[in-house]
Each structure stands twice: as structure tokens, then as C-alpha cells.
Amino acid sequence: MRYITALIIMVLFSSTSYSQTYEIGIMAGGANYIGDVGSTSYISPNKFAFGGIAKWNRSNRHSFRASLLYTSLSADDADADDSRRNQRGYEFENSILEGSLGLEYTFWEWNLHNYKPQFVPYLYTGITGFLSNEMALDRNNEISERKRKIDFAIPMVLGVKWTFDTHFVFGFEVGARYTFTDNLDGSSPEEFDGGENLPSFGNPNTNDWYMFTGFTITYSFGRKPCYCNF
């Protein structure tokens, strides 16, 4: 029985190993923050963002995806539509280094070994970890950096991608990151104050978000799927 099990595993492994197609490339665009400081516009990129992306196209409908992205997030109450924020006058800037791992799902079949032009929409989600600065109001009533920390977020991405030639793939996507922190902007320093009793502001019941809007360019490689009869 164990020899039969081993044979089945070998057959399955050999059939999937010949059907792997990979992509590797870059992503670039803009980022913006949504929270207790500045504008509340959802898609309003004001900082450059760039990074790398890799995919394993596991089937014609889904891919495992990993990415690294670096950007800064900034906001200024002067840009808000709310007059109370205008009068308050807070502003900040925070750097973000994120790594994300998850699943990309296409709405219809996507076959990189079909050399005809292709165009498909897709969704992506998974888990994102990011390194950012802890922020807090200082004695001058200005938002300043405290220390670096790691937080997590849920990415929710909608995009489209299309083939350029036999190996290059272009994509455009808009993605929100719902973070597990409310202190990208210094509004909830109680998350880390350690008894310092630092002042807070804004809505304590909502976490911060940030957005990425931009393009991806990837190079595809890997062997053509083998549909052999064993």
C-alpha cells in the first residue's frame, strides 16, 4: 500500500511541476492614507510607492502572490473638507515598508501559454505585515515620530492585467489596506505609551487605512503545462 501511495504522490508531483508558470517584476504608483488627519478621500495618491512582486500561477484562475512595497504616508488637515480639521491644523508623515502574501483570483481563465492577447480583471487578498513609525503629539502639539513597530493589515485589491507579448504582463490595480492599528497618525498613542498618558484625538473606534494605486510589470517564465496520459 505504501508503494502505491508513493507512486500516486510522485505522479501528482510530476504533473504539477510541469504546469508551474511564474511571474516576477516591479510595481510602482502612488499611496495615500485615510484616518483621523487630513483628507478623507479614498483614492487620492500623494506619495510615490514602489516595490517588487512575484506570482506562482497555480491554475488558469488563481495565483499565489508575494510582494514588497515601500512608500510614505502623509496627511495635512489643511487639505480636509472638514472645517474642524482645518482649524486644528495637524499634519504628519510616516514611512511604510510592507510585505504581503496571498491569493490572486481572475474572473475568467488566464493562460500565459496562450500567446493570443489577453485581458482579465482580478481580485487579490491575503495578509500584509508592515513596518512603520509610532506617532504621537509632542509638547509643541505637533505629531512626531517615536519608534518603529510592526503591524498587520488586510489587503483588498481590484485590478486588471493584460499580456504585452509572449512574456510580459502589464497590470493596473487599486488596493486598500485595512490596518489593525489606529496610530499611523499619532491619534491613539495609548497603543504603545507605556504609562506616559500621551494625548489622543479623533475617533478611537475606527482603525487607519492606506491605499496603493499603480501599475505592475512582470516577466513570465516556466514550462508549458503537460497534459500527459499516464
Tell the burial category of 156 from Cβ atoms under 10 Å away from its Cβ (0-12, 13-18, 19+): middle
Q: What is the pLDDT of residue 2?
A: 53
Q: What is the pLDDT of residue 3?
A: 42
* For residue 218, pLDDT beyond 50: yes
For residue 212, give Cα distances in angstroms to 43, 70, 82.
8, 10, 24
The cell 501559454 sits on which residue?
Answer: 113
Q: Which amino acid is at 128?
A: T
For 25-58, how does the pLDDT look when each residue is reduced to its tens digit (9 = 90+)?
A: 999 999 999 999 999 999 999 999 999 999 999 8
Q: Cα(first)–Cα(last) distance of the chain, in Å?
A: 19
Between CA 118 and CA 22 the distance in angstroms is 17
Is residue 50 within 8 A of residue 25, CB to CB? The reply is no
Is residue 37 within 8 A of residue 74, CB to CB? The reply is no
Vertex 201, ends 175 and 180: CA angle to 5°? 35
pLDDT higher at 35 or 60: 35
Q: What is the pLDDT of residue 230?
A: 39
Give residue 115's pLDDT band: very low, low, confident or very high (50, 70, 90): confident
Tell the burial category of 65 from Cβ atoms under 10 Å away from its Cβ (0-12, 13-18, 19+): buried
For 11-27, how does the pLDDT look when each residue is reduced to its tens digit (9 = 90+)?
A: 334 444 444 589 999 99
The cell 489606529 sits on which residue?
Answer: 182
Q: Strand pairing partners for 128?
A: 100, 153
Is residue 157 within 8 A of residue 198, CB to CB? The reply is no
